Amino acid sequence: MAEAVKRRNEIPNELKWDTTLIFKTKEEMLKALDECKALANEIIDNYKGKLSNAGAICDCLVKYEKLYIMIDQISSYTSLNVSVDYTDAENKKINAVVTNTYIKILSDLSFIESEIADASEEVLAEAIEKSTNAKVYLEDILKYKPHRLSPETEQALGALSETFSAPYEMYEQTKLADMSFPDFEAEGQSHPLSYTLFEENYEYIKDTEVRRAAFKAFYGKLHDYMYTTAAEYGTHVRTEKRLSELRHFDSVIDYLLFNQKVTREMYDRQIDLIMEKLAPHMRKYAKLLQKANNLEKMTYADLKITLDPEYDPKVTIEQSKDYIIDGLSIMGPEYGEMLKEAYRDHWIDFAQNIGKSTGGFCASPYGKPSFILLSWNERMSDVFTLAHELGHAGHFYACNRAQSQFDTRVSNYVVEAPSTINELLMAEYLKEKNKDDKRFRRWVLAAQISNTYYHNFVTHLLEAAYQREVYKLVDKGEAVPAETLNEIYRGVLEKFWGDAVELTEGCELTWMRQPHYYMGLYSYSYSASLTIATQVMKRIRNEGQSAVDDWKKTLAAGSTVDPIGFAKMAGVDVTTDHALLDTIDYIGSIIDEIEKLS
């Protein structure tokens, strides 16, 4: 039986991250917030109404970058403290104060982009030439000119940014604070249930009766909040649609892709090819899971079980350190030192506690260490998750040192490549380490499918296919009530899994579990990034150090290159479907080898 989830104050410090690496105390953070306000007033006094020449623009952007770095650090400090315990009223109060303050600051400073955009193209060209920290930022302002509104409107929209983000905040509150799960019965025993226990434990548990009973109880509770969550999501997508119209975009999808610097063709390719070409491979894998686990039928509730349930060794946090440092040693000594520092200096929050955000993420405030959230369950899947998040840390470790703060805003299309390649490199390391052990090799191959590719090429891709259908309705002006969202999600699952998987009642509510829907078009980008990562990993395997060197240069490039340029630096062409089809074939080859080894 799973252990009941603890309160945050019951968790030992060695399992928690250390946000004093950003600010030693709350008082130090509040002092920095006062400095932010003073700097903002200085910028207003010195530059408002005066950004008509290249010199003034460049000088202003040096100070603006300094302010942005301070806001990044302050907001990271308070939001990270909230993310580990949404039931902590004091941290939520502090975060709200900070959020209100910096939103007002940024609204008051919205004149900077408006005045720069109003400058002549000659002045902008001169500013781009002279700028020491904001060339790409200025180029982006120039490109965005047709979609910019009047300075007064831009300031009003900036002031309303907290209102625009309210649906996401309400979603997180609903999910992590309001939703309380009852114990459930299975095999004559009572079992505790929470969001974290389900997503990090019960979905993977080998006991079929417990797993399916947990699924039924979990989705039963989701159903109780279905209409509230649909209202939150519906408000969010309608807001995006209104903003896309205000900014003169043909569709909400075009509006959301613009800042990613991605074409509609690149976006649609990811979804369409994977839905068509990957589905047969994954149906085959589902059948292998069914056979290996002696299941009479394969259901949606069974898709995250392991291929070899008797061979799933426990991994401690200390053991994970050895695995990760050895497995990623190909990235060189500097990267290795960063990995050691992450463990030694408490960048990582391993804890499981009530109110903690689910899943995993990495936050990298400029000029400070990265902060990684996950829930440790002593599985090899946790090692892959941690390697993934450390990939984000390694990416921003490189580009934060090489680029200005303005040039670290990497497109969603590629931002998951540095993380997913770490999962692939870990798998290659594990296969090499035990190359004569066929059972171990099969286990690693299965981990690649069930962890890396299932998560990024299936879970998030199906979410992306669903999201695209929602936006199509929104573009037509149609409503998206809970029943419609359920129908769309179930339809996507039916199309992908066919008759290989029985869709358990409640599966249509899976859309309620994903916070990425409140972050624009994010879900599809996992498969786009992993496509690049797969091709780079194959280059590293075939070419060695030269491919590693190319990759390290790519990581340091930040947003000075667009997604096509990022991939090209790493030796990958994403302008055609070749890289994606090759990656799908690679996934298929792993499944074929698993079948042979079985």
Q: Per-residue pLDDT tens for 143-173?
A: 998 999 998 998 899 889 889 999 999 999 9
- At residue 2 the predicted structure's pLDDT band, cuts being 50, 70 and 90, is low
Place of tokens 């309705």: 473
pLDDT at 434: 78
Lowest mean pLDDT among 45-49, 240-244, 306-310, 487-491: 306-310
pLDDT at 478: 95
Residue 550, amino acid: D
Instruction: State how far the Cα of 89 lies from the Cα of 442, in Å rounded to an integer.
Output: 47
Instruction: State how far the Cα of 279 lies from the Cα of 296, in Å rounded to an integer.
Output: 22
Tell me if 255 sits within 8 A of 246, measured CB to CB. no
CA atoms in the 13 A half-sphere facing the CB of 184: 22
Tell me if 280 sits within 8 A of 296, measured CB to CB. no
pLDDT tens column, 459-476: 999 999 999 999 999 999
Does 66 score more than 60 pLDDT? yes
Does 455 score more than 90 pLDDT? no
Does 202 score more than 60 pLDDT? yes
Query: What would the DSSP string read from start to end of 333-386?
Result: HHHHHHHHHHHHTT-EE---BTTPPPS-EEE--TTS--EEE----SSHHHHHHH
pLDDT tens column, 89-119: 999 999 999 999 999 999 999 999 999 999 9
- At residue 83 the predicted structure's pLDDT band, cuts being 50, 70 and 90, is very high
pLDDT at 158: 85
pLDDT at 161: 86
Percent of the chain scoring above 90 in pLDDT: 86
Does 15 score more than 90 pLDDT? yes
pLDDT at 364: 97
What token pair was written down for 498? 């066919």
- At residue 383 the predicted structure's pLDDT band, cuts being 50, 70 and 90, is very high
Q: How far is CA 6 from the centre of its chain?
A: 26
pLDDT tens column, 506-529: 999 999 998 989 999 999 999 999
pLDDT at 330: 94
Does 1 score more than 60 pLDDT? no
| Bridge partner residues of 297 (DSSP) | none
Does 494 score more than 90 pLDDT? yes
Instruction: State how far the Cα of 514 lies from the Cα of 567, in Å rounded to an integer.
Output: 27
pLDDT at 200: 83
Does 312 score more than 80 pLDDT? no
CA-CA distances (angstroms) from residue 294 to 86, 280, 291, 302, 497? 40, 21, 5, 12, 19
Q: Which residues contact 575 (CB under 8 A, 6 or more apart)?
A: 564
pLDDT tens column, 340-373: 999 999 999 999 998 898 878 999 999 999 999 9
Q: Which residues contact 433 (CB under 8 A, 6 or more apart)?
A: none
What token pair was written down for 221? 């509770």
pLDDT tens column, 229-254: 999 999 999 999 999 999 999 999 99
> Residues 548-567: what's their mean pLDDT?
96
Taken in order of first residue, the domains within the chain and their CATH numbers are: 8-164 (1.20.140.70)
